[in-house]
Chain A
């Protein structure tokens, strides 16, 4: 409950990078992975992301829960793709090599399997990086890094407020929920769907009305301290870029440009081994 964002404090090079640097790297990395379907590049990025993961001294035990979620997500996503469109691979790669014929329109083709491999690689090379960011970035540094990247400080402060008040609201939610359960509100699978929704609103209404009051109190306090009067503000947890930061930003930007360049030179987003 307390360690919600799974920040794990260990001495490693990746932990020492500034939050802003890691945020820029995350964005460029996911852009590179998002635009490309070029299999060799995706494969290289997947391998690299696992190496980085190792460099951050994270253990599988730390993130086993998230890995489980990720595996379930990949399986479900691929099953859905196959169910809805078993010949998507054929329409992309332009050839059809049937391996096993199933019932009706369903047949397993080499193209479809290759397409699924690409989809898995795409998730496989982004998710470890996101996990890496989540596990190695201190949440309180996150808002400062947003501001550093160029987001207006008022919006960064809204993010900081959200991170600050999530535990409070969570605690309040639990208190209200227990109080309502003591009064006989049923929220488990035993009750019917409509009843469950009604039960949820019996918790929501006090929670949200009390939060509206909280908004009032906090904004008055901030106004009294003159928030929003200056054009800039400083951050307690903000840090200056080091040499390693600049190197990693350059590397990730180069990766993104490489991905764009490959797409451009190749003439399409797909790597096609079938022609």
Chain B
């Protein structure tokens, strides 16, 4: 706990606020009724790459819990935890694959998308349904179908929105060795 820098704490706070605003108000209607496209996972993946796994996990956890709170339908803990795990996994993937947010070329984007895809598969294909079974004991087929549907739509949006964010952010950063001697 002592390793938290002030910047990480602020990033968690603002990140969770962004996650909340995007998840609550930017609902892009999809062709499937009652399923909204969740833009916030693109943001979450991006923030985890920039600020690390612990920040990512907490942004997912706090942001998702606040969304559930504000809708007032009870906190769906299994999915909140799945969001946190997603942030954590993407952050870890960024470390393992040595992603550098300041230089997002083609290689960086491929790494980013592999990382987010694997994390989505683990979260919505395994973590969310298994926790749902443990906590609420609903039919297994229904939970896996729900998990699969949201997993696919989340992975697609993360691929589009997250990649765009990474590229835009990298463009604002000064690259190493960008100075030339005249």
Which residues of A are in contact with B by a Cβ distance under 8 Å?
4-6, 30, 34, 37, 63, 66, 69-70, 73, 76, 80-81, 83-85, 88, 119, 122-123, 126-127, 130-131, 134, 152, 154-155, 157-166, 168-170, 173, 187, 189, 193, 196-198, 200-201, 203-205, 207-209, 211-212, 214-216, 218-219, 222-223, 227-228, 269
Contacts and interface: CB of A to CB of B under 8 A. Distances in A.
A193 B30 CA distance: 7
B128 interface: no
A166 B17 contact: yes
B58 A158 contact: yes
Contacts of B139: 81, 84-85, 88
Contacts of A85: 139-142
Contacts of A166: 17, 20-21, 66
Interface string B139-166: 1111001100000000001001100110
A254 to B, nearest CB: 22
Which of B13, B22, B34, B135 gathers most chain A CB within 10 Å? B13
Interface residues of B, number: 60
A223 B11 CA distance: 14
A228 B2 CA distance: 9
A127 B16 CA distance: 23
Nearest to A214: B14
B6 A30 contact: no
Nearest to B12: A158
B4 A154 contact: yes
B60 to A, nearest CB: 12
6 contacts: A85-B140, A161-B17, A162-B16, A162-B62, A197-B161, A219-B7
Nearest to B160: A197
B142 A173 contact: no
Given A84-B141, A173-B25, A165 B13 contact: yes
Given A30-B77, A218-B10, 11 more contacts: A30-B75, A126-B74, A127-B73, A157-B9, A158-B58, A158-B62, A165-B14, A197-B160, A214-B14, A219-B9, A222-B9
Which of B58, B73, B77, B141 gathers most chain A CB within 10 Å? B73
Contacts of A170: 21, 25
A216 to B, nearest CB: 8
